Amino acid sequence: MPELPEVEALAAFLRENAVGRVVARVDLAGLQALKTFDPPLSALAGLEVTGAARHGKFLDLDVSGLHLVVHLARAGWLHWRTGLPAAPPKPGKGPLALRVHLDDGNGFDLTEQGTRKGLAVHVVRSPAEVPGVARLGPDALEVDRDTFARLMAGRSGQLKGALTDQTVLAGIGNAYSDEILHTARLSPFKMADKLTDDEVLRLHDAVRATLTDALQRQVGQRAATLKGEKRSGLQVHARTGLPCPVCGDTVREVSFADTSLQYCPTCQTGGKPLADRRMSKLLR
Ligand SMILES: [Zn+2]
């Protein structure tokens, strides 16, 4: 799932390659992806792309005051295309959800793999009209120490959930929350409102360091190479069974119904493995 660094890198890529071009046409191939009807998608045609920004994990293309706001969800991605075919795509087949043609013959595709479709496209006059954007907490890259401490103190629940709740803090998902908790040497199941002052500082520093490091590696990369760049920087996420690069212990996993988390017992839980959700309550 694209998180803050990937979406920021995509926005930077679009600022470089799409801003200044005029939208020639927008093809909707995955009907379920479009969540708004007024203004219509066709209203974008003939207008110049004037900016590209990020709100949490939402990508926002500013088209002369109209906004194409995209949430890529779990398996969505943006593919830059040079020399797009003129013929409109067949709706409903394959991963293509939306195609944006620019006036120079280039453009981009929004695609989504798999059968569970979550990719969402909105055409709005202001990004705040998108409910998910309106609900966002402060941006994870911009939140200062005091605000961060207040957010954690006001949250009764486990750290993993607090870091990934977009209404608390915007931009962090499953992968970077694993990485941040590993860097901060904190258990994913520790309660957010039970952190000591030192732990809050460590966690805030880890949020900054992890996201800044990922951003530095990714901004400037082409959309096609971003995913590989993300994977190469990970220390625990998606590395179950591999050695922790910090201490050499084996990275472990906790599975849930439709997701999982990874952590290092030596770095994060005093060497004790987290068996499952219920067991974890005994260990925190
Ligand atoms: Zn370790």
What is the CA(249)–ligand 1 centre distance, in A?
5
- Which two structure tokens, joined as six digits, stand for 100? 């944006």
What is the CA(184)–ligand 1 centre distance, in A?
11
Query: How do residues 190-231 score in pLDDT, each as one tens digit?
Result: 999 999 999 999 999 999 999 999 999 888 777 677 777 777
Of the candidates 187, 200, 216, the one whose C-alpha atom is nearest the C-alpha of residue 143 is 200
What is the CA(252)–ligand 1 centre distance, in A?
10
What is the CA(270)–ligand 1 centre distance, in A?
10
Could you please report the per-residue DSSP string of 216-281? HHHTTS-GGGHHHHHHHT-SSTT-TTSBPTTT-PBPEEEE-SS-EEEE-HHHHSTT----SHHHHH
What is the CA(281)–ligand 1 centre distance, in A?
21
Domain residue extents for the chain:
4-134, 145-268
Cβ pair 167, 159 in contact under 8 A = no
What is the CA(182)–ligand 1 centre distance, in A?
8
> What confidence score (pLDDT) does residue 278 get?
45
Question: Which CA distances in Å does 60 have to 11, 127, 141, 166, 195?
Answer: 8, 7, 17, 17, 35
- What superfamily does domain 4-134 belong to in CATH? MutM-like, N-terminal (3.20.190.10)
What is the CA(102)–ligand 1 centre distance, in A?
47
> What confidence score (pLDDT) does residue 282 get?
47
Instruction: Collect the ranges in the chain with pLDDT lower than 50.
Output: 278-284
Q: Which pTM does this prediction carry? A: 0.92
Place of tokens 């439709």: 258
- Which of the following CATH numbers is that of domain 145-268: 1.10.8.50, 1.10.760.10, 1.10.10.60, 3.40.50.300? 1.10.8.50
Residue 35 DSSP class: -
What is the CA(205)–ligand 1 centre distance, in A?
18
Could you please report the per-residue DSSP string of 106-169? -EEEEEE-SSS---EEEEESSGGGSHHHHT--SBTTT--HHHHHHHHHT--SBHHHHHH-TTTS
What is the CA(238)–ligand 1 centre distance, in A?
14
- Which two structure tokens, joined as six digits, stand for 112? 């989504």
